[in-house]
Chains A and B, each alone.
Chain A
Amino acid sequence: MTDDKTSPSRRAFLKGAAMTGAGLAAGQAAAATPDPLITEVQPWASGLGDGVDATPYGLPIEHEADVIRRNVEWLTADTISSINFTPIHALDGTITPQGCAFERHHSGAIELRKEDYRLMINGLVDRPLVFSYADLERFPRQNHVYFCECAANTGMEWAGAQLNGAQFTHGMIHNMEYTGVPLRMILEEAGLGAAGDLADKWVYVEGADASSNGRSIPMEKALDDVLVAFKANGEALRKEHGYPVRLVVPGWEGNMWIKWLRRVEIMDGPVESREETSKYTDTLADGISRKWTWEMDAKSVITSPSPQAPITHGTGPLVISGLAWSGHGAITRVDVSKDGGKSWETARLAKPGEKMALTRFYLDTEWDGQEMLLQSRAIDETGYVQPTKAQLREVRGLNSIYHNNCIQTWWVRPNGEAENVEVS
């Protein structure tokens, strides 16, 4: 699979970047000698490439082998109950390819065949039901693009600048187009009459894996936009994302997006499961903890330049690019600062923001070769402005772990390298 060309280490890569960064002037210069890549007939222009069946299911070309999920080993006890990170520094657009979309498991990614799949609806329903996978495909279905962000994304940055790369600071996120059935339709198939007044009811959703990761969701959300999804980006979900069926809970923390969904129970109150009490609760400075912090607030990050994506082309035209999102609706505006927040300019959104989906922004600019303290600031349709780390700390202290949506700073040096820093 891999050839013996070893990819250069990140440090070596950065060194290379430093060399090319120096001395290149803006403007169109003449080449000293003709480029042999143009003047000589290249093997690929003369011989033949692969036939159509060389890769029945294609993977990225080997030259992109560094665009992969990465893990931070010291974060967790082992890789079975752990998390890895989407290489957002190397992606563009908004859709995350499934193969490099971050994974979070509590008991490992299980293998569950469609034939062995069952979904049970029970509790306060008129008739408890069991659905097969084939049954789910017979409901009217919908397509929606949504981001899924782990509540712990950027969680290692509460106490200070720690991990040096957008992949590690902001990579617990992906954005896919889901195909599925509204949970509402499936619940109504079982009948909600038995539940009486729906206003104070909950649904408890759980997965089929050994972790039995279960979360309680208020009925209002369950009947609003929650999706029982079986396809992502047009194809079956990957094993690591819950094949064959996962829950999609738009705008809410990723832990609620139950993978290998096997049961939905209509209940009088929340179960107060492990994942909604001992974890995914946010401890404030006074030791009191917030619970039920489900929505992901507006957030953004510059993906390039960034520590893993330094500027390698010297001065002149520079595309500053990043991602913005909000669990409260659409992103309406993103501002970018090059001076650590003294002054801001409004970036260009690649497309108008869509509700609970990633938005790509660009600032098409000129780089003068001076150092920059790059920041981005997202604003969503509610008017909420992404806060600074200082603002967040003032309200929450340093021990919330979850829901860190602070403004991120990259210190870009004259040689094009970037570093994760905090500024005053």
Chain B
Amino acid sequence: MSKYLKVATALVLLGSPAFADGFGLGRVALPEEIAAWDLDVSPDGTGLPPGSGDVLTGEEVFADKCAVCHGDFAEGVDNWPKLAGGWDTLADDDPLKTVGSYWPYLSTSWDYINRSMPFGDAQSLTADEVYAIVAYILYSNDLVDEDFVLSDETFTAFEMPNQDGFIIDDRIETEYSQWVREPCMENCKDSVEVTMRAMVLDVTPQEEVEASAPVAAAAPAPAVAEAVQVVALDPALIEQGEKVFRKCKACHQIGDGAKNRSGPILTGILGSPAGVVEGFRYSKALMEMAEDGLVWDEESLHAFLARPKSFMKGTKMTFAGLRSEDDLDAITAYLASFAE
């Protein structure tokens, strides 16, 4: 005990790495372990793996894996981040900060996409896919032509438009120097008027009394399962549906061990009444339709997944919709293969 205290005190007092022996805790990290975790990429390109990707490949990968939240043209769906546009808006009343208009370094987008995207399926992209996605994002910002190829070799040559748009924290000069002073205590101003009221905007969340009641309890599940004609389980169609489901994976889980995420668990959805997954907070729109008896059969799922927002005005689901009938059939077959 006393030995530890002495060492601790010495570390604090000397403030130097003199205690090379230290406590002898931990073990040496293996090169494979460092390689697995040390993925960060710096502005000078340090950390970039070899690889390359072009705009057109990027467009495909983006449509498949990113567009569900960020939009086909990186314009952003609902409240999800817009990645393109906003050029010359930073000094406006309502600046639009995108990769193109704001981000100072290209390395940041490569690094972030590589380690954290797609949302809900992070670290699933290959290096080439990341290069391609970044190339497409640059293209969607009108920063490169459609024949542009991004690679570890061309990477550092690219300069972002807002690279010089940042200064290091200058509060010491611009603020602290003004605001360190003995403050006024009496007669500090002639008059005081209320100039703005929060009640006028009225955007504060109100207590929702119904929020505490478990959703499932409100609607006892009617025995409808047997009435639903489940599509014949065609293995090829299911396999095709599994691919289509990639578009859903950012928000939904299905099968063993599935949990609610941004969207509810989808296990057993075919034939189930709407709005009954325990612990998921549905939109008001969905709960209203559930109360009116909405059941997720083949027909309603098709209609919803084809055009979510027109089928259910006010749905929380940000997905733009599946355009092809084949995809709709495939996804339905895939969902049907996960019975409760």
Contact = CB atoms under 8 A, between A and B. Distances in A.
Interface of A: 2, 6-7, 9-11, 66, 70-74, 76-81, 106-108, 120-123, 126-132, 135, 138-140, 160-165, 168, 184-185, 188-193, 204, 206, 210-212, 214, 223, 262-263, 265, 267, 269, 271-274, 277-278, 281, 283, 285-295, 297, 307, 335, 339-345, 373, 377, 379, 382-387, 391, 395, 398-399, 411, 419-424
A127 B175 CA distance: 43
Nearest to B77: A77
Nearest to A382: B180
Interface string B91-102: 101110101001
A335 B108 contact: no
Interface string B29-40: 100011001111
Q: Which 10 residue pairs of A and B lie closest in terms of their CB atoms, listed nearest first?
A: A287-B91, A287-B90, A340-B192, A77-B79, A420-B198, A210-B122, A128-B29, A129-B26, A422-B196, A140-B8
Interface string B67-96: 001000000001110000000001101110
A162 B203 contact: yes
Contact of B206 (A11, A120, A384): A11
A272 B15 CA distance: 28
Given A9-B209, A212-B122, A340-B192, A120 B29 contact: yes
Contact of B165 (A7, A223, A289): A289
B105 interface: yes
Nearest to B47: A271
Nearest to A345: B185
B232 interface: no
11 contacts: A72-B205, A76-B79, A78-B251, A122-B34, A131-B26, A163-B198, A168-B205, A271-B40, A341-B189, A344-B186, A383-B181
Contacts of B13: none
Given A80-B119, A290-B170, A335-B183, 6 more contacts: A123-B38, A190-B26, A193-B17, A210-B122, A271-B111, A291-B166
B74 to A, nearest CB: 14
Nearest to B76: A77
B180 A127 contact: no
A272 B170 contact: no
Interface in B1-28: 4-5, 7-8, 11, 15, 17, 19-20, 22-23, 25-28
B179 A387 contact: yes
Nearest to A119: B26
B318 A77 contact: yes
Interface residues of B, number: 94
Nearest to B210: A6
Nearest to A270: B42
A79 B262 contact: yes
- From DSSP, what is the main secondary structure of chain B's interface residues? loop
A185 B11 contact: yes
A422 to B, nearest CB: 4
Given A76-B79, A274-B112, A291-B166, A344 B205 contact: no
B188 interface: yes
B229 interface: no
B19 A188 contact: yes
B107 interface: yes
Contacts of B227: none
B205 A71 contact: yes
B309 interface: no
B212 interface: yes
Contacts of B8: 140, 185
A77 B193 CA distance: 36
A164 B198 contact: yes
Contact of A77 (B38, B78, B191): B78
Contacts of B204: 72, 163-165, 168, 307
Nearest to A187: B17
B23 A189 contact: yes
A230 to B, nearest CB: 14
B157 interface: no
A278 B170 contact: no
A203 B41 CA distance: 14
A212 B123 CA distance: 10
Given A77-B78, A265-B40, A341 B192 contact: yes
Interface string B177-221: 011110111111101111111110101111101001000000000
B252 to A, nearest CB: 12
Given A7-B207, A70-B205, A341-B192, A162 B185 contact: no
B40 A189 contact: no
A423 B104 contact: no
B329 to A, nearest CB: 28
Nearest to A130: B29
A336 to B, nearest CB: 11
A126 to B, nearest CB: 7
Contact of B105 (A189, A277, A421): A277
A289 B94 CA distance: 14
B167 interface: yes
Contacts of B174: 395
B43 interface: yes
B206 A214 contact: no
A141 to B, nearest CB: 9
Nearest to A373: B192
